[in-house]
Amino acid sequence: TVARLRPFASTIFAEMTALATATGAINLGQGFPDTDGPRAMLDVARAAIADGLNQYPPGPGMPVLREAIAADQAARYGISYDPDTEVLVTVGATEAISATLLGLVEPGQEVVLIEPYYDSYAAAVALAGGVRRTVPLVPDGAGFALDLDALRAAVGPNTAMLVVNTPHNPTGTVLGAADLAGIAALAVERDLLVLSDEVYEHLVFDGAAHTPLASLPGMAERTVTVSSAAKTFAVTGWKTGWVCGPAELVDAVRTAKQFLTFVAGGPFQPAVAYALRHEQGWVAEQRDALQRKRDTLSDALRTAGFGVHASGGTYFVCADITPFGTTDGAAFCRALPERIGVAAVPVSAFADDKAAWDHVVRFAFCKRDEVLTEAAERLASLA
Ligand code: PMP
Ligand code: GLN
| Ligand 1 centroid – CA 95 distance (Å) | 9
- Choosing among 3.30.565.10, 3.40.640.10, 3.40.50.620, 3.30.390.10, the CATH entry for 39-279 is 3.40.640.10
- Give the residue from 227, 129, 139, 223 showing the smallest Cα distance to 183: 223
pTM, two decimal places:
0.97
For the CA of 240, the nearest atom of ligand 1: 15
What pLDDT digit, counting tens, does each position of 337-376 carry? 999 999 999 999 999 999 999 999 999 999 999 999 999 9
The residues of the chain that CATH labels 3.40.640.10 are 39-279
pLDDT of residue 367: 98
- Give the residue from 203, 217, 120, 207 showing the smallest Cα distance to 166: 203
Residue 192 identity (one-letter amino acid) = L
Is omega for the bond preceding 267 within 30 degrees of 0, making it cis?
Answer: no
What pLDDT digit, counting tens, does each position of 177-206 carry? 999 999 999 999 999 999 999 999 999 999
Domain formed by 3-37+281-380, architecture? Alpha-Beta Complex (3.90)
Whether residue 169 has its Cβ less than 6 Å from ligand 2: yes
CB atoms within 10 A of CB 369: 11
The residues of the chain that CATH labels 3.90.1150.10 are 3-37+281-380
| Ligand 2 centroid – CA 63 distance (Å) | 28
Whether residue 118 has its Cβ less than 6 Å from ligand 1: yes
The segments of the chain whose pLDDT lies below 50 read none
